[in-house]
Amino acid sequence: MDETSELFRERLKKLDALRSLRLYEEPIDPYGGRFERSGSLKEIIAAFEEGKSVKVAGRLMAIRTHGKSSFCDLRDQEGKLQIYLKEDGADKEVFALFEKIDIGDIIGAEGALFKTKTGEPTLRVEKIVLLSKNLRPLPEKWHGLKDVETRFRQRYVDLMMNEEARAVFFLRSRLIQKMRAFLDRHGFLEVETPMMHPIPGGAAGDPFKTHHNALDMDLYLRLAPELYLKKLLVGGFEKVYEIAKSFRNEGISTRHNPEFTMLEAYAAYWNYEDMIHFLENMFVTLAKEILGKTVLEVQTADGTMTVDLTPPWERVSFAALLKERYGIEPADSTEEWVAKLRKRGQQKGVGLNVQGKIARSQVVRLTEELLEPKEKGKPLFVVDYFKEMCPLAKSKKENPDLCERFELFIGGMEVANAYSELNDPIEQKKRFEAQRDGAADASKIDEDFLRALEYGMPPAAGLGVGIDRLTMLFTNQSSIREVILFPQLKPEK
């Protein structure tokens, strides 16, 4: 709201009037301090006793005046309670203060509980205190679809007015809590690794760059914690995990935010098949504990899909799909690969905008974007990725051109990625060098990670799960911005 608006100026006048009022010979502070509650509104209603004296606090969300009586809705984090004042029944000073209070103010109230004729628990107010004066009137109706940008930009108002939005973030918090508990039960140790890396690595993507003045060195916000976590396997930890932010300096969409929350977990002496079974078990357990069911309704590009999480989940071969749809083989040169993609794109009426020379890494990424495996009501593991698409994964013994990796798709969206970790330092160095030769920026090789592998890393499997996307699935949301409290947005005009 414009600070010069009539409503805003009116609230400022009320604020000045409040500062001049006295309650029980004490000056009123419109932004009061500590207030001791008898409990949350949810707890007070659950333990309701007729005539019981309680102290409550919350935001005033509605005022209904009937003659000399007023009924108001008070709300806190999880509950709502009706409060009642009567002019000829309340203390005159209390009522004088109440007359200066507006919807949106945060107040404390003391009184006795009773039930109305309709059976609604209500507090008969005897004392009242103003804890925070609201200067901006609340919207009468919060139109989520029409004001979507404003909802994300002013998330505090969205949460204030939108019970469904609050429920999403309560569920997100429970999801992370239950995930931690599941990992802890299975012997994983939670650790913390650096957010700022001297060399970007552990995942494909463009990093955010910063500079440390004291050390006079460039640093990068991490793409992934992978390399540090695997160093811990070298150090002797056998099961580790981290739930934290990672960063990619890339586009924003309904499925992408520049900063996002990931679970990464590593288990020594496992392979990707072990991780498949572990992931199935974890997702089913989370669904049962949080949702009480294993069948989800999820939003896809084509509408709503019903997904049954009951294992085992479906599998499809990436290599087989690529050969079937595009005729591409692992041994194809970059030029052959691009030519086949172009030809197929032209047949389907899809343009493939590739100008001049293109790095093989770009072709790999483009291919992943073009290949959208279709699900049939079950989560889908895509396996058999080309080795060059997975510089940190072990090759399959029976087919060295492919690697022991899977990506998990639910509702047409990639939710998890895992593989048997490459622990051969000689092979890892070759992969890094090949990756650097194909990169446009001649990226550096992480020599310290190679040195760690030279000390010996046990065979292991690693897993990455997108917490934001998993929350989208568990809350049936179509946009990642609905499950991130403060998503990245363009600057406000």
19 phi and psi angles, rounded to 5 deg? -65, -25
First-last CA distance in the chain: 14
Tell me, what's the pLDDT at 47?
A: 96
Which residues, including other chains, have CB under 8 Å from residue 371's CB and lie 6 or more apart?
A: 318, 321, 322, 325
pTM of the model: 0.91
Q: Which DSSP string corresponds to 87-143? A: TTTS-HHHHHHHTT--TT-EEEEEEEEEE-TT--EEEEEEEEEEEE---SPPPSS--
DSSP bridge partners of 240: 189, 266
Q: Do 355 and 381 touch, CB atoms closer than 8 A?
A: no
Q: Tens of pLDDT along 105-153?
A: 999 999 999 999 999 999 999 999 999 999 998 887 544 435 788 889 9
Which residues, including other chains, have CB under 8 Å from residue 58's CB and lie 6 or more apart?
A: 41, 74, 75, 76, 81, 106, 107
Tell me, what's the pLDDT at 460?
A: 98
Q: Do 415 and 473 touch, CB atoms closer than 8 A?
A: yes
Confidence of residue 94 (pLDDT cuts 50, 70, 90): confident
Q: Do 17 and 11 touch, CB atoms closer than 8 A?
A: no
Average pLDDT, rounded, for the chain = 89
| Position 395 pLDDT exceeds 80 | yes
Q: How far is CA 349 from CA 343, 344, 352, 363, 405, in A?
A: 10, 9, 10, 19, 31
Torsion sign (Cα): 172, 178, 184, 187: negative
Burial 14-38 (b: 16+ CB within 10 A, else e): beeebeeeebeeeebebeeeeeebe
Helix (H, G, I), strand (E, B) or coil at 439: coil
What's the rounded Cα separation, in Å, for the pair 217 and 408?
38
Q: Which DSSP string corresponds to 286-304? A: HHHHHTS-SEEEEEETTEE
Tell me, what's the pLDDT at 361?
A: 58
Q: Tens of pLDDT along 181-210?
A: 999 999 999 999 999 999 888 888 889 999
What's the rounded Cα separation, in Å, for the pair 203 and 225?
9
Q: Which two tokens stand for residue 210?
A: 């910063």
Q: Pairing mode, if any, of strands 80-86 and 121-132? A: parallel
Tell me, what's the pLDDT at 141?
A: 58
Q: Average pLDDT in the 309-323 region?
A: 91
| Position 359 pLDDT exceeds 70 | no
Q: Do 113 and 50 touch, CB atoms closer than 8 A?
A: yes
Q: Which two tokens stand for residue 479?
A: 């946009």
Burial 428-458 (b: 16+ CB within 10 A, else e): bbebbeebeebeeeeeebbeebeebbeeebe
Tell me, what's the pLDDT at 443?
A: 67
Which residues, including other chains, have CB under 8 Å from residue 451's CB and lie 6 or more apart?
A: none
C-alpha dihedral, 396 to 397 to 398 to 399, nearest 10° = 50
274 phi and psi angles, rounded to 5 deg? -60, -40
| Position 352 pLDDT exceeds 70 | no
Confidence of residue 349 (pLDDT cuts 50, 70, 90): very low
Tell me, what's the pLDDT at 27?
A: 87
Tell me, what's the pLDDT at 203?
A: 85
Range with lowest mean pLDDT among 3-7, 44-48, 226-230: 3-7
Tokens 């811990």 locate to 232
Helix (H) / strand (E) element for 34: namely: none
How many CB atoms lie under 10 A from the CB of residue 461? 24
Helix (H, G, I), strand (E, B) or coil at 361: helix
